[in-house]
């Protein structure tokens, strides 16, 4: 362990909240799919900061936009207009389609909090003050602040912090009958991830999400889609729901929006957003000039470099490689996902062992629980880099 890593580990152990189980590596720079530690050793990144750096590390256009904006203006608050903020608002609403409005924030959990408040305000305004309940899916993950945590469908992440915010019901994913039974007159919204990320990469079935849309229309309930992880070309299309032919009333974004800088957004149909008034919601740092410049550069690069197409192509190659690995080793029970958002369930509880062994071979993997591994590489991922991953996993499998 080098001197800088030793010092970081020591300081972290003495002063940081014990909420992270950090790996013993200190990265000092990155480029595309690659990260480099304090000694200059190169690592292949199949985590991408948990689906954040879709363009890869240190993309030159984003770095340039950040540098140029930081030299001119960093912060003025939301009391005043900012050029790049207005441009980003226009760009996101154009991507979302139909008359829409956007609220900019700093993270995925902040986006979900805003979506929850909007749904409740809409329910109270349109259907009466007793209409506030939100139906979400079991195994879902929407964030770690209290509203988003309450919406999350994982008891293991909630138990230590109860009592939670009331007014959330959870039903099994892809079970339309269970959802229909949950839609009482007090429900204002259904909240779903098109592809559950933290829960283990479980996608909605196409017919299920279409049926949810129809049911929401029939009952006068908002459909809120959480695309914090699946959005912005991670699964191929710009938003994961485009592959389903379904339009949400409200949608959350974050993670890849500014390729590593803290940015989030909530988009809503204009008629839904209009239930809010000045002072109903806000965020001190949201929509700042530097982050908005980074987000605009990120959206430009994602489009011009056609990374959605690469996500589809490389994602298919990755799933084929994982399938062949499973046939050779018998270690894979199921492969799920879309584009470069792929999860595998292993036949044995060795996910953490596999990831630790991969780190020793300088490949970053993300285990979820005992038997699931999630693959979220930058969208610049190539077939050659997937071949390297396969070779490393083959080598590790001999010792598992």
Q: Which residues of 216-234 are buried (b: 16+ CB within 10 A; e: fewer)?
A: beeeebbbbbbbbbbbbbb
36 and 42 Cβ atoms separated by less than 8 Å: yes
Our answer to whether residue 39 is catalytic in this structure is: no
d(CA 262, CA 291): 7
Q: Which of 103, 132, 202, 226 does the annotation list as catalytic?
A: 226
- φ/ψ of 12, rounded to 5, equals -60, -45
Other C-beta atoms within 10 Å of 245: how many? 10
Q: Which of 103, 141, 239, 325 does the annotation list as catalytic?
A: 141
Our answer to whether residue 226 is catalytic in this structure is: yes
Q: Which of 255, 325, 371, 375 does the annotation list as catalytic?
A: 255
49 and 260 Cβ atoms separated by less than 8 Å: yes
Our answer to whether residue 141 is catalytic in this structure is: yes
Residue 69, both tokens: 């904006």
CA neighbor of 234 nearest in space, from 251, 252, 257, 250:
257
263 and 111 Cβ atoms separated by less than 8 Å: no
The separation between the first and the last C-alpha atoms of the chain, rounded to the nearest angstrom, is 25
Tell me the catalytic residues: 141, 226, 255
């Amino acid at each position: 362990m080098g001197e800088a890593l030793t010092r970081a580990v020591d300081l972290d152990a003495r002063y940081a909240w014990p909420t992270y189980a950090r790996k013993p590596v200190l990265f000092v720079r990155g480029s595309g799919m690659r990260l480099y530690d304090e000694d200059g050793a190169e690592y292949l990144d199949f985590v991408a900061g948990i689906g954040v750096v879709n363009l890869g590390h240190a993309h030159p256009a984003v770095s340039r936009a950040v540098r140029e904006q930081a030299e001119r203006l960093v912060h003025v608050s939301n009391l005043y207009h900012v050029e790049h903020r207005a441009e980003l608002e226009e760009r996101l609403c154009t991507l979302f389609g139909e008359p829409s409005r956007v609220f900019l924030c700093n993270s995925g959990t902040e986006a979900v909090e805003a979506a929850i408040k909007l749904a409740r305000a809409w329910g109270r305004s349109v259907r009466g003050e007793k209409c506030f309940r939100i139906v979400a899916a079991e195994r879902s993950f929407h964030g770690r602040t209290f509203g988003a945590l309450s919406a999350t469908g994982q008891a293991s992440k909630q138990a230590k912090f109860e009592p939670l915010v009331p007014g959330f019901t959870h039903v099994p994913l892809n079970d339309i009958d269970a959802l229909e039974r949950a839609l009482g007159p007090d429900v204002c919204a259904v909240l779903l991830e098109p592809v559950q990320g933290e829960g283990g990469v479980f996608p909605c079935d196409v017919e299920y999400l279409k049926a949810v849309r129809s049911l929401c229309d029939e009952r006068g309930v908002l459909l809120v889609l959480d695309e914090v992880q699946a959005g912005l070309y991670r699964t191929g299309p710009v938003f994961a729901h485009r592959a389903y032919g379904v339009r949400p009333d409200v949608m959350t974004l974050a993670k890849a929006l500014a390729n590593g800088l803290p940015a989030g957004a909530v988009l809503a149909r204009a008629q839904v957003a209009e239930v809010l008034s000045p002072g109903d919601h806000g965020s001190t740092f949201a929509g700042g000039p530097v982050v908005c410049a980074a987000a605009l550069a990120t959206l430009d690069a994602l489009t011009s470099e056609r990374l959605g197409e690469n996500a589809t192509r490389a994602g298919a190659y990755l799933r084929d490689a994982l399938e062949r690995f499973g046939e050779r080793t018998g270690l894979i029970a199921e492969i799920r996902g879309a584009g470069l958002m792929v999860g595998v369930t292993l036949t044995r509880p060795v996910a953490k062992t596999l990831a630790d062994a991969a780190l020793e071979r300088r490949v970053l993997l993300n285990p979820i629980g005992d038997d699931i591994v999630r693959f979220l590489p930058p969208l610049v991922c190539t077939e050659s880099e997937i071949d390297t991953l396969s070779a490393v996993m083959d080598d590790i499998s001999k010792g598992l």
